[in-house]
Amino acid sequence: MAIIQDAIYDRLTTFAGLTALVSARSYPGKPPQDPTVPFVWYRLISAERVSAMGADTGNVAHMVEVNAEDLTAAGASDVAEQIRAALQRWSGTHASVVVADSFAVNQRTFFDTGREHFRELQEFRVWSSE
């Protein structure tokens, strides 16, 4: 069964503006130790399955966190803008998953003292069908 994480990976690794910056360095779950920068990592935060009276609709509202990391704040911001361009109002069939719509709901900036990277975190609500 295809899952939303597969669809997100497919979208992030085939979106030209993003791959121009990070190549194929998009990691599900968490990045590897000492990754080449810049890179992207993402994870599923929640999946709310919508029910109606007497039946399940098959619609799922996923909350997905997507992170852009680089050595500079400007670099992380550039990657984050491409992530937003890839996922904002994204729809269609990707990796056998039907994505109805996607939109950004939150964005924050961090400095990761452990890796000494700047990080732009974005959260997206992604609607799909099961």
More confident residue, 124 or 51: 124
Q: Which residues does residue 94 pair with via DSSP β-bridges, in sequence order?
A: 97
Residue boundaries of the structural domains of the chain: 4-129
DSSP symbol at 36: P
Q: pLDDT, tens digit, for every residue of 55-74?
A: 888 899 999 999 999 999 99
- Phi-psi region for residue 54, left (φ > 0), alpha (ψ -120 to 50) or beta? left
4-129: what fold?
Answer: STM4215-like (3.30.2000)
**How would you classify the pairing of strands 26-28 and 39-52?**
parallel
- The pLDDT, as a whole number, for residue 30 is 92
Cβ atoms of 130 and 58 closer than 8 Å:
yes
For the stretch 19-45, pLDDT in tens is 999 999 999 999 999 999 999 999 999
